[in-house]
Amino acid sequence: MHFTAETSSNGVVERNFTLGEVTGLLWSPASGSDRAPLVLMGHGGGQHKKAPGILGRAHRFVTGCGFNVAAIDAPGHGDRPRPAADEQQIAALRQAQAAGEPIGPIIVRYHTGLAARAVPEWQATLDALQELPEIGAEGPIGFWGIMQGTGIGVPLTAVEPRITAAVFGCLGHESLTEAAAQITVPIEFLLQWDDEHVERQSGLALFDAFASKEKTLHANAGGHGDVPRFEADSATRFFARHLGRAGTSPA
Amino acid sequence: MHFTAETSSNGVVERNFTLGEVTGLLWSPASGSDRAPLVLMGHGGGQHKKAPGILGRAHRFVTGCGFNVAAIDAPGHGDRPRPAADEQQIAALRQAQAAGEPIGPIIVRYHTGLAARAVPEWQATLDALQELPEIGAEGPIGFWGIMQGTGIGVPLTAVEPRITAAVFGCLGHESLTEAAAQITVPIEFLLQWDDEHVERQSGLALFDAFASKEKTLHANAGGHGDVPRFEADSATRFFARHLGRAGTSPA
């Protein structure tokens, strides 16, 4: 893992890193990050490691809970080259969207292929992060990712025992059911009640599939892009409850 | 409205009151309650105005948000005599439960009759509370009530424009759909995902029926009695968001 840049603002240190082909960001408290819990963040489709929805929540996790937070560009996203096969699938997706055809099957195929590449990348990234003295191998680890972040995060969490709590949501395809059924850690699952891209029953079925004893569904009125701001606070408290160190006070 | 007793503990003043046949409790901050928002609380079936689930949340609303909180005994509950007709319905309910028969239809009939009596009682109580100088007629008003508290609270909120935000849940019968469709204020709706008394689809259908632009479903793994403690914090924040005065800091 190579750090390539470092900036600091509002009590948060931001470091760019690379690990092989993977490009990522690590946010840490300006003071007191040592052996703090770590939250991994997976961005949405077509977005990247520093999209506003990632950056805002990352800062909140750092300043509200004192956590370290890492995000990586998914294969073909952000600072990474996009393979021709991905280009073709994305073109097919846009075509279906423009034609008003169902995009579900294309998304499923795309996410499945993406997860096959992204899961080992996340595991290698986690190995490298745990070698950093300020993180270490002992601390609890959370995963946050909705939409495409869920498409990658569910298969990752299913095979990665180091992840002990996760926020998922705004996605629901049957190809994830089997992986969800292997997950037993606490889950907070977001759903947009009037999502124009995710069928309600499909989202409810994915929530139902998790084997976790503690799981909470937060379904909010509104469309795919209308996830309310207060859900960022809720995720902060969720991770504070499950990863939190004594004495931390979530925002 | 007659106050019949007053005690104080942990910064919360508790006053018993009567209003005609209605017996109730009013909790207020020991200091600074003037013109604070008001939360009305409806208890569950067979319970009363000072059941642990009511008392604990009432204290949290007072100490966390500086609100005034009022609870009244439903007809035939707590300090109020139980009419013979109610006795018969409760006996029928227990009999059905013991025989493993569906209790849904009995609950619907019982709640419907109860709400017809309880809604005007709540409205008279609200009139009287707003005449108190420490509450007044201007402040925002919330309603909290799950299970039987929803059976009464949904019809109440449908006809009572003074209520501007409500927490409901753990109930779902079709007799409430019409009232729910008249409600447009922000709603937080609890559901137990594995509720042995409330059918999941029926609870989801009731959530779906609210006409509110802002509504959030919180569905938690577990049975009827397993509503997680963190939902009390969530309700506190919900009311702080919608009723809160500037400068209040929810717990």
Render pLDDT for A125-143 as a digit per residue (tens, 0 to 9).
999 999 999 999 999 999 9
Q: What is the mean pLDDT of residues A172-196?
A: 95
Q: A187 lies in a domain?
A: yes
| CATH number of the domain enclosing A108 | 3.40.50.1820
* Rounded CA separation A145/B105 (Å): 42
Residue A233: pLDDT above 60? Answer: yes
Asked whether the beta carbons of A162 and A129 are under 8 A apart, the reply is no
The distance of B177 to chain A (nearest Cα, Å) reads: 17
Phi first, then psi: what are they for B240, rounded to 5°?
Answer: -60, -40
The distance of B16 to chain A (nearest Cα, Å) reads: 35
The distance of B159 to chain A (nearest Cα, Å) reads: 22
CB pairs under 8 A between A and B: 50
For residue B204, list chain A residues with Cβ-Cβ distance below 8 A: 204
pLDDT at B197: 87
* Rounded CA separation B106/B120 (Å): 23
* CB spacing of B193 vs A212 below 8 angstroms: no
Per-residue pLDDT tens for B176-230?
Answer: 999 999 999 999 999 999 999 899 999 999 999 999 999 999 999 999 999 999 9
Strands B68-72 and B38-41, by their bridges, are: parallel
Per-residue pLDDT tens for A203-220?
Answer: 999 999 999 999 999 999
3-state secondary structure of A249: coil
Q: B250 lies in a domain?
A: no
Per-residue pLDDT tens for B97-139?
Answer: 899 888 888 999 999 999 999 999 999 999 999 999 999 999 9
Asked whether the beta carbons of A79 and A73 are under 8 A apart, the reply is yes
pLDDT at A34: 82
* CB spacing of A212 vs B221 below 8 angstroms: yes
Q: B165 lies in a domain?
A: yes
Please list the residues that pair with B16 across neighbouring strands. B5, B25
* CB spacing of A193 vs B213 below 8 angstroms: no
Asked which of A73-77, A171-175, B121-125 is least confident by mean pLDDT, the reply is A171-175
Residue whose entry in the numeric block shows the structure tokens 């577990």: B222
pLDDT band at A151 (very low <50, low <70, confident <90, very high): very high
* CB spacing of A208 vs B216 below 8 angstroms: no
Q: B248 lies in a domain?
A: no
* Rounded CA separation A241/B126 (Å): 37
Q: Is the ipTM of this complex over 0.85?
A: yes
pLDDT band at B250 (very low <50, low <70, confident <90, very high): very low
Q: A186 lies in a domain?
A: yes
pLDDT at A247: 42
Q: A88 lies in a domain?
A: yes
**Domain count along chain A:** 1
Structural Rg of chain B based on CA atoms: 17
Q: What is the mean pLDDT of residues A217-229?
A: 96
Q: What is the mean pLDDT of residues B150-171?
A: 98
The parent domain of residue A116 ranges over 2-243
The distance of A16 to chain B (nearest Cα, Å) reads: 35
Q: What is the mean pLDDT of residues A85-91?
A: 93
* CB spacing of A221 vs B230 below 8 angstroms: no
Buried b (16+ CB within 10 A) or exposed e, B106-142: bbbebbebbbeebbebbeebbebbeebebbeeebbbb
pLDDT band at B247 (very low <50, low <70, confident <90, very high): very low
The H or E element containing residue A149 is: helix A148-159
Q: Which of B190, B214, B216 to mutate to test the interface with A (most CBs of A within 10 A)?
A: B216
pLDDT band at B245 (very low <50, low <70, confident <90, very high): low
Per-residue pLDDT tens for B19-62?
Answer: 999 999 999 999 876 889 999 999 999 999 999 999 999 999 99
> Nearest to residue B216, comparing CAs of B201, B231, B199, B198?
B231
Asked whether the beta carbons of B119 and B155 are under 8 A apart, the reply is yes
Q: A121 lies in a domain?
A: yes
Q: A248 lies in a domain?
A: no
- Give percent of chain B with pLDDT exceeding 90: 88
